[in-house]
Structure 1
């Protein structure tokens, strides 16, 4: 009788743990679904805002966003209650410590922000979003289960955007799908392709066939979006990552050290060739965009650099520069079209203008720690290593011409956090099950 009761108790406890693991495995997918499907479609159906009012509109709160993220955070906390004994180890992970360091300094910048109310509200949203990722991935059970949900999401995302491309006329500069502009569609399709490349290597049969088809359709959508940044990175980054992971695996050296060595060598070689041939940024812009201003970005960068020089150490305050209302520097001083923007089209400049050199330094440390986290799996899980490195490098490079670091629930920023934390999730496969 005692043995039977013990068995029933163990079964009930196991069911509770399974339910918690099930919920946690779905949370990252729900977060991405809101960012790349639900929020864009709701914005499109609501009609958006006029360009002239964009800074004023962006400074206001959004009740739906607040309800969604608070609800998701509550769900993450409930699912994590029985696993809090694992939380200290997660919180001491170097990537998590770097994230908290940036958040802590961002909280300090609220005190000198010109719009402290807006800055604090946006910081709270950022804390909630990052805690949802940390809890769901750090306390989750299975890397494969979480990635399976993500694969299902990217297939659905391509299907929805295929329908949108058929029903919604293109913009003058490319198809936008369900997103406000073409770069949104390009970035999401890049995410789809990089994720599907992982799925194709680990799945078999019909699932692999579906992912192959999804990759092909996503590439077509990426091309017709005319998002050159996303297209170039989607072609180049997988080639670099596959070669690097294969090299690191077979040499059996410290993959992170090898990455730093190859990256620094590549940068020095690029600088040398540029000096030797005279092929600089102006020439690169002409090749990519048929002008020497990176399609007007240099005008934005000059303005932002001027503002950075006024408060270079601590910045203007976290999320206190763009979309900060009629009293903001952007609204008062920005030239021509720059006053209609919500980003500098360079994530590194946006970090500098918001949190100064201190925040920028923390970001650099976070990037290095994220790369180190991804490369630690080279010998045990090459598929996940490739996925993490592809996503991290995509975000690093994408922020050279767009902006997403620590920006609300930007899909690009979320990709970085997801990839940086993913190695924390245990794998359900034995080492012998890993594929090349």
Structure 2
């Protein structure tokens, strides 16, 4: 027994030493994963707002195609994307997955949350819709891309050790976007319909300018002198960009969204009313008023557009929507397949069945209609559930952190309204969708931690 005791003691000491090293290594990896998780959202938005437009800018269609519509020949690979444009997303996904595993944050994912569950089902449905899509390969590719981007941001938020670092990193990206666009505005001439900045299209420059304004307003309310000065610079540059882009939609929404965000913030913090309830009531009342007026002959959709916005067709969008409505009636329940309608070239339904801009339009310019086209009534119902959950989570966040809650509600309000005239929500590689997922995950994690 005496001869064995030293050996046993030595083994126990070695085992304890190995365990101590293992624990130290795990702690180091967890800290590193938390730090990287805080930076991944900024990496993704930096790629899509800076690297992509500078390296691959120009869009999928030439200016001739956009101006001439059906008169111009479509490229043979219309709707396809260069693998180089997409390679960053799988790399960021792998990094987010490693961060999640090293920090153990995957155990905290709120899979029982309504919004998270609805988003997960939509992701599965988007990929599965390749089975009935006219373009299975395209649908599968874009469905998988949507899954990768959405999952990456959620994993990153739950792995992040500090939202303060995350917001600082996002600020750095927005500063770079501001400076690069300022240089572009000062050195490059405007296009025939507005300045595009460093982006391929003026409407993109418009909504990016709106986001710059919101981020600047958020950061000017706290921090050191340098941070506040930079925020003031962004606040001053954003209106200039909005005017130069001649994006009337983004200009109007950039004014409306912060105001709506403040109203929702006040209701959530002072009155304990959910933003989801207020938005639902607002949308319901607006719909009721429209149908009452239309039924009485006071107005039509186009006459209302002409009176309020000065353009009965909303620059041709109503023609797209009328065509989309006919397609929705053909397959109302599951749709035609995720992103399998617009921008699909000679073999696509728009090219074969309609004329004009619809033949080359990359989206239906309405994210709600596009969801009905892509995934039918089932997808639309799930999208509605997600939006309700997102607004509810933003309301809970507002009760915990007023500044971050206001920014989240403002961005949500902007995207929800912008989605009426463009397609943003649940659209693969759309930066506004990235922002919505990012702040949705932030809102859920922050409010859950507070409870």
TM over 0.5: yes
Distance 1:84 1:7 in 2: 19
Deviation of 1:186 after TM superposition, in Å, equals: 0.2
- In angstroms, what is the RMSD of aligned CA positions? 3.0
Match in the other structure for 2:51: 38
How many Å separate the matches in 2 of 1:345 and 1:430? 38
1:284 to partner: Cα distance: 4.1
Say which SS state the counterpart of residue 202 (structure 1) adopts: coil
1:152/1:266 Cα in 2 relative to 1: closer, same or farther (>3 Å)? Answer: farther
2:254 aligned residue: 234
- Report if the CA contact (8 A) 2:400-2:450 is conserved: no
Equivalent position to 1:131, from 121, 130, 151: 151
Partner secondary structure for residue 172 of structure 1: coil
User: 1:168 aligns to what?
Assistant: 188
Query: How far off is 1:231 after superposition?
Result: 0.8
Asked if 2 retains the 8 angstrom alpha-carbon contact of 1:223 and 1:231, the reply is: yes
Deviation at 1:97? 1.1
1:403 counterpart residue number: 423
Once residues 59 and 325 of structure 2 are traced to their aligned partners in structure 1, the CA distance between those partners, rounded to angstroms, is 35
User: For the structure 1 residues 19 and 323, does the alpha-carbon distance in structure 2 shift closer, same or farther, using more than 3 Å as the test?
Assistant: same
Q: How many angstroms does 1:386 deviate by? A: 0.8
- Note if 1:222 corresponds to 2:254: no
Alignment of 1:296-307 (within 5 A): 296-307=316-327
5+ unaligned residues in a row in structure 1: which ranges? Answer: 432-436
Of 60, 63, 79 in structure 1, the residue corresponding to residue 83 of structure 2 is 63
- Any conservation in 1 of the 2:58–2:199 contact (CA below 8 Å)? no
Higher deviation after alignment, 82-91 or 161-170: 82-91
Aligned ranges for residues 23-422 of structure 1 at < 5 Å? 23-44=36-57, 49=62, 51=65, 52=72, 56-84=76-104, 86-87=106-107, 89-251=109-271, 253-256=272-275, 259-260=278-279, 263=282, 267=286, 271=290, 278=298, 281-287=301-307, 289-422=309-442
User: Once the two structures are superposed, what CA deviation does each residue of 1:388-436 show, in whole Å capped at 9, x if it has no partner?
Assistant: 1111111111011111222221112112211211124459x999xxxxx
Q: Shift of residue 249 of structure 1? A: 1.6
Task: Give the alignment's TM-score, normalised by structure 1.
Answer: 0.89
Report if the CA contact (8 A) 1:55-1:323 is conserved: no
Q: Residue 89 of structure 1: CA displacement?
A: 3.3
Could you tell me how far apart the structure 2 residues matched to 1:70 and 1:301 are?
A: 34
- Structure 2 counterpart of 1:434: none
Contact kept, 8 Å, 2:324 with 2:373, in 1: the verdict is yes
**What SS is found at the alignment partner of 2:345?**
coil
Distance 2:74 2:218 in 1: 38
| Secondary structure class of the residue paired with 1:278 | coil
Comparing 409-418 with 266-275, greater Cα deviation is found at 266-275
Structure of larger gyration radius: 2
Give the Cα separation in 2 of the matches to 1:321 and 1:247: 40
Q: 1:118 to 1:55 in 2, by over 3 A?
A: farther
For the residues of structure 2 that align with 1:89 and 1:407, how far apart are their CA atoms?
23
In structure 2, the gaps of 5 or more residues are: 1-12, 66-71
Tell me the distance in 1 between the aligned counterparts of 2:193 and 2:246: 7
Looking at structure 2, the residues matched to 44 and 89 of structure 1 have their Cα atoms a distance apart, in angstroms, of: 36
Q: TM-score, normalised by structure 2?
A: 0.86
Cα distance in 1 for partners of 2:407, 2:331 equals 38
Are 1:22 and 2:22 counterparts? no
Aligned pair in 2 of structure 1 residues 56, 28: CA closer, same or farther (>3 Å)? farther
Shift of 1:323: 2.1
Distance 2:344 2:45 in 1: 26
Please report how far the alpha carbon of residue 109 of structure 1 lies from its aligned counterpart in structure 2 after TM superposition.
1.7
CA distance in 1, matches of 2:291, 2:352: 41
CA distance in 1, matches of 2:311, 2:250: 19
**Once the two structures are superposed, what CA deviation does each residue of 1:242-290 show, in whole Å capped at 9, x if it has no partner?**
1331243223x24346535753575368549956993654344224553
SS of 1:407 mapped into structure 2: coil
Say if 1:87 and 1:324 are closer, same or farther in 2 by CA, change over 3 A: farther
Q: Describe the SS at the equivalent of 1:396.
A: helix
The alignment of Structure 1 onto Structure 2 pairs a total of residues equal to 429
CA contact (8 A) 2:205 2:245 kept: yes
After TM superposition, give the deviation of residue 11 of structure 1 in Å: 6.1
What is the distance in 1 between the residues matched to 2:56 and 2:329?
Answer: 35
Are the aligned partners of 2:139 and 2:337 in contact in 1 as well (CA < 8 Å)?
Answer: yes
Contact 1:175 1:224 in 2 (8 A): yes
Q: Distance in 1 between matches of 2:291 and 2:77?
A: 46
In 1, distance between residues paired with 2:59 and 2:288? Answer: 49
Q: Is the 8 A contact 1:133 1:418 kept in 2?
A: yes
